[in-house]
Amino acid sequence: MSINFEYYKIFYYVAKYRNITQAANLLYSSQPSVSRMIRMLENELGCILFVRTKKGVLLTPEGEELYSHIAPACEEIFAGEEMLTRSCGLQGDTIRICASETALRCFLFERLEHFYTDHPAVKLKIYNHAATEAIEALHSGNVDFAVVCTPVEVQPPMKVTQLVPFQETLIGGLQYQYLKDQTLSLWELHKYPLIFLAKGTRTRFFYEQFFGKHNLTLNPDIEVETSDLILPGVIRNLGLGFLPKDFAKQALENRKVFELPLLEEIPRRHVCLVVDTSKQLSLTARLLVKFLTGDGIQNSSEH
């Protein structure tokens, strides 16, 4: 009997976590795909390995017997892979990442600094594009994975994983500092010039939805191509703008801009990892993905 190791690997994760969804998340796969693989393994072996429950799955006696042999083998293989990557220093391997400006500045650069400390031999190619272009690059196979910000819209076999939340705030320059002691409503913002990203970006879509939820239409006075152009415009008093707090931190501390209280609460956004589950990541890329997500993927969603 010759059974594909991938079947046993999937069996191991499902058996270990007693949950098909969690196993799928950790494997960067989908729940239907994992369920199908388990059925194929059961057909190959000629026995039932799991019983479904409301809380997950339970191993049958046959499943328990198989797991007692498979678990040590899988753990040895995974440990060997980890040791190999570390002992070889990941020499010569290149990871290709496409990330949005906000994702880079709010999350990715800081995490890559820590990763590089442990793996200085890794080569990185980082492409900076808006979320839509980043997803397209991933779909085309030009990058290993994408790091972008919500809202994210993808279709299978793409998988989205929330990494870290971030909060945006309304800011104004010295000319508008008198507003910092007031609480503005979204409706009142039409009295002031606004600086926003151009149409077609996910950030612009996010704010169009935010304004629309309050029965307002977003009509900015100035449109820019990238997020890093908003802050200089605000500093020069060209208008008010919305930015992640991390973007404006230094300018706020130096009192070049001021945080302006807003009556309506701006929804929290997330930096997300997007992978193509139909394509196999290299060992090095998988190691970086694991590093970015912690020990496995959390809050994953399939689209």
pLDDT at 184: 97
Sign of the Cα pseudo-torsion (179, 181, 185, 188, in order): negative
Looking at the domain that runs over 168-267, which CATH code has it been given? Answer: 3.40.190.10
Domains 94-164+270-302 and 168-267 share a fold: yes
Residue 300, pLDDT > 60, answer no
Residue 3, pLDDT > 70, answer yes
Average pLDDT of the chain? 90
3-state helix, strand, coil in the chain (%, to 5): 45, 20, 30
Q: Give tens-digit pLDDT for 212-225.
A: 999 999 999 999 99
Residue 298, pLDDT > 50, answer no
Contact 245, 166 (CB under 8 A): yes
Fold held by 5-87: Arc Repressor Mutant, subunit A (1.10.10)
Residue 270, pLDDT > 70, answer yes
Q: Give tens-digit pLDDT for 25-56.
A: 888 777 888 999 999 999 999 999 999 998 89
Q: How confident is the model at residue 168 (pLDDT cuts 50, 70, 90)?
A: very high
Greatest CA span in the chain, whole angstroms?
A: 77
pTM equals 0.74
Q: Give tens-digit pLDDT for 64-99.
A: 999 999 999 999 988 887 777 666 555 567 899 999
pLDDT at 187: 97
Write out the CATH class of domain 94-164+270-302.
Answer: alpha beta
Helix ranges restricted to H, 201-265: 202-213, 230-235, 245-253
pLDDT at 90: 57
CA neighbor of 59 nearest in space, from 97, 111, 20: 20
* Spans of all domains in the chain: 5-87, 94-164+270-302, 168-267
Contact 257, 248 (CB under 8 A): yes
pLDDT at 54: 86
Q: Residue 232 has what DSSP assignment?
A: H
